Structure 1
Amino acid sequence: MSLSALIIDDEQLARDELKYLLDSVGGVDVLAEGSNGIEAVNLIDEHHPDLVFLDVQMPGLDGFAVIKRIKEQSEARARSQPGVEQDPLPHIVFATAYDQYAVRAFDVNAVDYLLKPFDRDRVEQAVERVKGRIAGGPATPAPAAQIDTLLRLLNRPQAAPQPAKLIVQAQSRLMLVDQAEICYAAIDEGVIRVVTQNFEGQSKCRTLEELLDLLDPALFWRAHRGFVVNINHIREVVPWFKSSYQLRMNDKKQTEIPVSRSQTRRLRELFNL
């Protein structure tokens, strides 16, 4: 089964990265790309794709407003043409870099999400979930119902604040660490290493996404697929080749951490580069 798809994201690098990963995964025909919410609505109306990869934060209309707009347009057309069924809505896979609360909402709902920077395995999983949903027939909830559920979830009050301290295992000791002391966290072969200025240890979290749910989003930023950094512990921004950057942290080793292509714009926003 080949899916027709649109990619909507205001970052050219993010669109390019996602298109590259979709070509690698296969089974998805990208019909067009858009850079804002208005283009998203028009392209969906023009192409009627099976699937839309939709950024959350965009100029004009954000991802949620795009969903509301296409749903309202579909309902309006159905009302104006009695006896004609409402146009089926495309399956939506959200892309988000910052909103951890929304990520949790997507994860328990039928609509999927991708967290930036994109991961090939996660992109493939999202595509397979959509294919499975389409192949599921009547037993699979309709996209419109999924979207209504998602919007209700997003309107709920946000979760309680993250704990101020984290437990980090250093050898046989369980250290209670203030979040502000953490320089960065890195994942390697499924093990998450947490580094402060004075020591390093391991987190009990299984993924960086799980760790991010415990961290203050105002302080911590996922600069790369394998790294989460505390922006207050960035010592230097180092220009790299092909307009990329590395971050030199202020831990004892002055570790250099790469910034992924899709996060370059966020870096420029953070430090007015």
Structure 2
Amino acid sequence: MKIKTLIVEDSRLAQNELLTLCEPYSSLTVVGKAKTLAEAKTLIIKQQPDLLLLDINLPDGTGFDLLDQLQWVPQVIFTTAYDEFAIQAFERNALDYLLKPISEQRFNQAIEKLTAQSTATTPTGLIDHKIFVKDNDRCWLIDIQQVRYFQSQGNHCQIHFGEHKPMVYRPLTQVEQRLPPKQFFRVNRSYIININCVKHIEAYGHTGLVLTMDDGEDIDVSRRHTSHLKQALSL
């Protein structure tokens, strides 16, 4: 499995040191380097990395500021010269917190954690089964198990969980790429559903299916996806 990695670090020397530490790992593919929060945000939207090697102090803000501005947060390994932000980092679900100068042994331990978690979850880029969503001034750290379905809204989509329906500012196709494929299923052009949240399935016509979700929403399965859904649900 290839882990798309973005280095966010304002020091060229530190960037090169991180590149050197990444080189022995064929699983790590460095897709870009950023020196500022603004550069990092642009590259994250473009490259959709699985992992950020993230410095805390950047010229135009902090690594925490960057995470607050993202709709979908990759896995994060913080790299910093300061130990006072460690608690704050782990409150943000950081995989690890590496103090500079970073030793090869310490970096290896962090990557072993990443590899173990990636193997235990899915190859889609979703790690720890959590997604961070920011909609206007409201933020959520959502356990993916709680999501009933994703609903397309043009170039964006809504996440339906509990009583909430925050908007994610990316198309449904991009969201689909990051979901566990055995749990989430694309049933038509507008919906990706959590199979565990299907309450009832009703057939209609020769090949049609209607799913009733546990919130009472009825969702049609397109003809194209019906056979795949039956296969996914069969023993």
TM-score (norm 1): 0.43
More contact order relative to length (CA 8 Å, sep ≥ 6): 1
In terms of fraction of residues, the more helix-rich structure is 1
TM-score (norm 2): 0.50
